[in-house]
A = this chain, B = another copy of it.
């Protein structure tokens, strides 16, 4: 990915993938000693933020499909970081809760994530960062609309 590049670099989707992979790998390297992956982290964090969500909701909020969510939750459960309770009103679903161990891990790692985000933002102004988020969100919504349409 140097500057003598071609059309691919002019594609937003391609650039998102490239930048995402780099950032994700960077975050992963900071999580090395915590025995958790970035994707697991984002799900765990989500569960901590709003406890009692069912898997479907977790999937939506963490931008993953349901199979991926199932399997990530399985791993978090194996590690003793989250647990499931069958839904009271709907026995198809499971409410997911975080364990003490999970909460402790979030408390120790959330600062790392915040610091990384702060470091990453250094290359942009406050306003640019907001613009970036806004444009990414619009692209995401628009892509979802197109996908539903056809």
Contact = CB atoms under 8 A, between A and B. Distances in A.
Interface of A: 1-2, 5-27, 29, 42, 45-46, 49-50, 60-63, 113, 117, 119-124, 128-129, 131-133, 135-144, 146-147, 150
A126 to B, nearest CB: 12
**Does more than half of chain A's interface fall in helix, strand or loop, or is it mixed?**
helix
Given A10-B133, A131-B135, A141 B120 contact: no
- Give the copy number: 2
Given A19-B140, A61-B8, A135-B132, A14 B42 contact: yes
User: Max chain B CB contacts within 10 Å: which of A24, A132, A144?
Assistant: A132
A124 B142 CA distance: 10
